[in-house]
Amino acid sequence: MITFTSDFGLQDCYVGAVKGVIYGINPETQVVDISHDIPPHDISAAALVLAGSCPHFPPETVHLAVVDPGVGSSRKGILAVTKRYRYVAPDNGILSLALQGEEVCALFSLEAERYFRSPISPTFHGRDIFGPVAAWLSRGVEPHHFGPRLQSWSRLENLTSDRTSEGFLEGRVLHIDRFGNIVTSFSAEALREIGVVERLVYFALKEERIACQVEFYAQGPIDQPFFLLGSSGYYEIAARERSAAQLLAVSPGTPLRLYFESTKP
Amino acid sequence: MITFTSDFGLQDCYVGAVKGVIYGINPETQVVDISHDIPPHDISAAALVLAGSCPHFPPETVHLAVVDPGVGSSRKGILAVTKRYRYVAPDNGILSLALQGEEVCALFSLEAERYFRSPISPTFHGRDIFGPVAAWLSRGVEPHHFGPRLQSWSRLENLTSDRTSEGFLEGRVLHIDRFGNIVTSFSAEALREIGVVERLVYFALKEERIACQVEFYAQGPIDQPFFLLGSSGYYEIAARERSAAQLLAVSPGTPLRLYFESTKP
Amino acid sequence: MITFTSDFGLQDCYVGAVKGVIYGINPETQVVDISHDIPPHDISAAALVLAGSCPHFPPETVHLAVVDPGVGSSRKGILAVTKRYRYVAPDNGILSLALQGEEVCALFSLEAERYFRSPISPTFHGRDIFGPVAAWLSRGVEPHHFGPRLQSWSRLENLTSDRTSEGFLEGRVLHIDRFGNIVTSFSAEALREIGVVERLVYFALKEERIACQVEFYAQGPIDQPFFLLGSSGYYEIAARERSAAQLLAVSPGTPLRLYFESTKP
């Protein structure tokens, strides 16, 4: 099974071309669409989508991810082998979050042209390099055949939050989801580690304080935004059956603060 | 085979997470996307999409539908077993139209936690309850294992039309499709039952009368809207290669009337 | 395997209905989505998407394509058998580009009602004619069973460019892709044939001259649009990580010129 995530959208031939190439190499595989509506060139958004969906797939799945503004340039293509999965992607940080939760066994630079489509278009490595590599992997070609070992992979900065000493943490808006929920950079895991998860008081975002914490959306008040722990482990700011992002006029990257009760008053 | 309908959109991890969970439980199944572009929280729209697509699938198909503004609240999860299919969904009316055309054999409340993901996020039952239940069903678990029997399911009001005595029927706009066709709440079946289907005269919608009836879109006049019987059995108001909804400035819920010839003048 | 391309969008029941019908006839097949976001009624856009994706699929694939503004009218349904594939579509020019690159073996008019759904809605041949025919083909029914032979298929005009004698070629914008790249009607193949591919000087589009040629997007200048050979074989005008189409305010059909160096000065 090959999952496929991209910023190709669905109005062009790009998704179909990659699927065609994959099925052309391995008609027995199944390509499962995760998302092709990643905003164009938005590597961070793709990193979040991968982190929220890949870990649920069965072992041995090949995860193919192509958001690739640097296509054709010197950025490498990468194959990351973990205990459970194989990831194929441009090495531009797109795997930052997915690999964080995994035991990485080996990394390879995609260089073995015999597994690529020929000629290689300098503008479409999804079709000519990443798709074919994913397909050959699904046919059982061993990872080390695709190129030399790499020691590390590119990581995105600014996907986590910073502690400060004044009783608050600084973070930012990571993502706005389809419902307009504001996904923040504060994960329950990180807050638990620093011991504040039980002591959250309010989010400060622009001029607003969001102090009402609930467990699920339908529990939120009708007339004001509230916050809750979202299903991917990040705190979210939401509003009842409308878009909190629109209400508060925020977008990915907007800075915000999370205030917590200090243990000693 | 599992069909999957939701309002999750395609830019987030939600669809991928549910698919991952399903394939994690049953790698042999096939998840077929019906739609993930149901407008957020729009249970009526989902009900229509299910009614228009589910009945065409082969027997034994599991239909998974998640538009779930009440996630985490006291609304139940439901498994509806019909003569042909199994439906898994929140019990919020989303199955109103699909079950109408079916012989319902049994209904169950989803309560057996051993078939759920653990822990259950109070904001994402698609991933943690409905998806897993659909997957276990596709692996052959008997429906009664998922929870106790239910006597009835939630139905949406306002998906049908009302008769009046003055030579017209009152209804509303059910749905605007991608082409801008205005799907009305008048079904050919209902009009046949009350004996007016052969005597339609015009639709009154806002200040407009739409009196030109055709059989297919390309038969309609260039310069004015017309009506015809749509492929799902509902009458539609349409315009030639443009959006009738935009032309007439209507949206779902807009009231309209259908005038018919009385048998005695 | 059946690929499926349409302008049905994903918010309605149309895609699900066609898939249901196909799996109802042949539960063993696999329907692979190419695109359902073709702009409504845009046959040219569909022709391009098919040309860019179909040729990559394995032999014997059935390609189903439904963009069908003339549904219900006298336009025929067509089955085109090529050396590698079978195409099922309305005969309205949608196959113009896909068949250009193929060896066409036989054409049939879809007329054998025993392979259709009954009754046939005059507004949804995708569900009632094209989908079922694709499914029966995938089950091994021989092409000649679906109807009488046709001698030719409909072709779209205006998908190619015209030569002029003054050192330039006249063409137009074929397509704007999701990234805002402007796909022009100039193919490398056509320019090679007339011997100018090595002598390109600039594109003239509205009041602008685009003279900077690069090999891949990340190589382009930050502050001005540039041109390059796109992955489907057409020249594109692009901009660095933003929409060239928006920057230059063009849309499909906008005329443009490509100037080349004459061999003799």
Question: How high is the ipTM of this complex?
Answer: 0.92
CA distance B31 to chain C (A): 11
CA distance C153 to chain B (A): 20
- Chain A positions touching C64 (Cβ under 8 A) are none
Burial of A241 (0-12, 13-18, 19+ CB in 10 A): middle
Nearest-Cα residue of chain A relative to residue C219: A73
CA-CA-CA-CA torsion for A196, A198, A201, A205, nearest 10 degrees? 60
Flag whether pLDDT at B46 surpasses 80: yes
- Per-residue pLDDT reduced to its tens digit, C19-37: 999 999 999 999 999 999 9
Task: Tell me if chain A has a CB within 8 Å of the CB of C244.
Answer: no
Give the separation between CA C215 and CA A1, rounded to whole angstroms: 33
Phi, psi for residue B212 in degrees, rounded to 5: -90, 115
Task: Tell me if chain A has a CB within 8 Å of the CB of B124.
Answer: yes
pTM of the model: 0.93
- Chain B positions touching A9 (Cβ under 8 A) are none
Phi, psi for residue B104 in degrees, rounded to 5: -85, 125
Kindly list the partner chains of chain A, i.e. chains with 3 or more CB atom pairs below 8 Å: B, C
Flag whether pLDDT at C66 surpasses 90: yes
Q: Are strands C168-176 and C182-187 parallel, antiparallel or unpaired?
A: antiparallel
- Per-residue pLDDT reduced to its tens digit, C146-195: 999 999 999 987 677 777 778 899 999 999 999 999 999 999 998 998 88
Flag whether pLDDT at C52 surpasses 70: yes
Flag whether pLDDT at B158 surpasses 80: no
Mean pLDDT of chain C: 93
Nearest-Cα residue of chain B relative to residue C124: B231
Specify the pLDDT at position C167.
Answer: 87
CA distance B73 to chain A (A): 6
Q: Do C40 and B178 touch (CB under 8 A)?
A: yes
C-alpha torsion sign, points A83, A89, A92, A94:
negative
- A190-193 long-range contacts (CB < 8 A, ≥24 apart) are A190/A160, A190/A161, A191/A235, A191/A258
Q: Do B12 and A177 touch (CB under 8 A)?
A: yes
Provide the CB-side half-sphere exposure for B85 (13 A, CA).
28
Nearest by CB to C49, which of A16, A33, A123?
Answer: A16
Specify the pLDDT at position C101.
Answer: 82
CA distance B45 to chain C (A): 8
Mean pLDDT of B64-83: 95
- Per-residue pLDDT reduced to its tens digit, A10-27: 999 999 999 999 999 999
Give the separation between CA C73 and CA B216, rounded to whole angstroms: 7
Nearest by CB to B69, which of A5, A52, A217?
Answer: A217
Q: Do C38 and A123 touch (CB under 8 A)?
A: no
Task: Tell me if chain A has a CB within 8 Å of the CB of B172.
Answer: no
Specify the pLDDT at position B163.
Answer: 74
Specify the pLDDT at position A105.
Answer: 97
- Per-residue pLDDT reduced to its tens digit, B213-224: 999 999 999 999
